[in-house]
Structure 1
Amino acid sequence: MDITYGKYLKIDELLELQQPLSDPEEHDEMLFIVIHQVYELWFKQILHEFDKLRAELKKGETWTSSKTMDRILTILKTMVAQIDVLETMTPLEFESFRSFLQSASGFQSAQFREVEILCGLRSPHILKVHKDEPENYKKLQNRLEELTLWECFCIYLNERGYDVSKPERNNEQGLLYDPNERTQQVLLDVMNNDPETALLCELFVDFDEGMQEWRYRHVKMVERTIGNKKGTGGSSGVDYLRGTLHQRIFPDLWEMRSRI
């Protein structure tokens, strides 16, 4: 039998995955499910692109790394824009089915934790939240041992002939690395004398800024929907999300700007 559009994409199976729990079914629960399932698909694609990007960086490839990062940035912009759709749901409409979520929460997204880990972020709850999910727990443990984006970027700089030391993993409750003045000096040299590598640096800053934008829009969406209530997954809700704002993934790329 020939492959059809529906069979190739498994459309029938995909469209069976939206299973509202509200009884009687609340209209807006479908939107809530679809949006979050789409987010998980985008997280999957970002992780797929991260794997490619890190391999390219380790080879010192500028053009392909830039192209991959550009795709990641476009996905990130799409994810931010999707919040506009979710914000068409009023607090009353969300409250109509919120109790049916029980302890389920975006706080428990294992894939987003993978994204954070590869960005170099660490926090006590990264593994703790998934202690009863052996597959996710093991996957996150493995990610913790992998090279982060910044570590791969430093390898890239060395492949390009720049003397950059390997970042030291110092912190287990925040960003792994402390800013490094020597690295910032190298980056300043890059910005002044190597336009192609400087462009890749700027794409990394774009990604860092995009992640901060994603977090900000997420915070404001949650705040306008549930106010200061606790999150369904046991988190402190908006207070927890506020604490994640302004986390700079690549601090040296920001700090060096004061030297220009």
Structure 2
Amino acid sequence: MSTDAAAPLRPDPRRRDGRPLTYGTYLRVDELLDLQTLSSDPPEHDELLFVTIHQVYELWFKQILWELDRAVALLGEDERARAAHTLGRVRSIVKVLVSQLDVLETMTPLEFASFRAHLESGSGFQSAQFREVEFVLGLKDPAALRRAEHDEARARLQRRLDAPSLWDALLAHLARTGHPVAEVDGAPGGEDEVEDMLLRLYREDPSAAGLCESFTDLDEGIQEWRYRHVKMVERTIGAKVGTGGSAGAAYLRSTLRPAFGPLWTVRSRF
């Protein structure tokens, strides 16, 4: 399932030539293994690890977007159980993202410093796909559009900015299934009204409460990944400015906030 916000996946054109696919041709292994080019010359041993892990991250971000778009669509169809299952898959992927940091942390500060200068202005801060993930979750920062590397990435982010988020899809689904958020002076209520609705929902509708817990699980997982990312950066470069001129660990610490705030704040009211 694809959406207008994401680049659609296309059928493999090689299916038209009538030849059977092999493992290598189906996965395009030759092309895949040709993508890990190094900037250091002579090659620094640890740069390959750095490149490989970050390319794998981008592949997982692509899969996460694919799954989150499906979750939004399923919520739009009021397919509560299937949406929760899809979010569970994303949570499992996020666990893999966390475990990849264990591998990256086997690289010492000196080993990273051996090729860091060759990264020039490149920085994970520039990952358009991760910004898309944030936008889908509801963490929308229009300034990210100005930092996009090229027009295509900027257009994708604009579509994500304009589209309803996963959180929007949840609130709309809950409203259709008997849990609307109270209005205030004729306008949609704010976080207090959302909390009031969630408080009633948890007490009265176990199925809806279970769906909300799947959102909380995902949010906790993403915050865990962000925290581990902060500690990995601190361990590798300390308080230095990040690659590409970003604020490094200081910036990453500022991102340690939930995507679905009311699901956390309502817990003090039970």
State the partner residue of 1:137: 154
Structure 2 distance, partners of 1:121, 1:222, is 22
The separation in 1 between residues aligned to 2:190 and 2:265, in whole angstroms, is 8
C-alpha displacement of 1:178: 9.1
Which letter maps to 2:157?
A: L
Q: Displacement, 1:156?
A: 1.0
Alignment partner of 1:205 out of 213, 216, 221: 216
Matches within 5 A, 1:1-260: 1-123=19-141, 125-130=143-148, 132-164=149-181, 180-245=191-256, 247-260=257-270
For 1:110 and 1:65, the matched residues in 2 are separated by 25
Tell me what 1:171 maps to.
none
Q: Percent identity?
A: 54
Alpha-carbon distance in structure 2 between the residues aligned to 1:163 and 1:179:
12
Aligned length: 248
Deviations 1:193-241, CA, capped at 9 Å, x for gaps: 2111111111101111111111110010011101111111111111111
Cα distance in 2, alignment partners of residues 3 and 165 from structure 1: 56
One-letter amino acid of the counterpart of residue 230, structure 2: V
Contact 1:58/1:159 (CA < 8 Å) preserved in 2? no
Q: What is the CA–CA distance in structure 1 between the aligned matches of 2:217 and 2:207, rounded to whole Å?
A: 15
Aligned partners of 1:110 and 1:140 also within 8 Å = yes
> Per the alignment, in what secondary structure is the counterpart of residue 233 of structure 1?
helix
Q: 1:48 to 1:144 in 2, by over 3 A?
A: same
Q: What is the aligned-residue RMSD (CA, Å)?
A: 1.6
Find the counterpart in structure 1 of residue 9 from structure 2.
none
Q: What amino acid maps onto 2:162 in structure 1?
A: E
Moved over 6 A (4+): none
Say if 2:61 and 2:129, in contact at 8 Å, map to a contact too: yes
- 5+ long unaligned stretches in structure 2: 1-18
TM-score, normalised via structure 1 length: 0.92
**Structure 1 residue 188, shift from structure 2 partner:** 1.4
Name the aligned partner's letter for residue 132 of structure 2.
E
- Long gaps (5+) in structure 1: 167-176
TM-score, normalising length: structure 2: 0.88
Amino acid at match of 1:212: Q
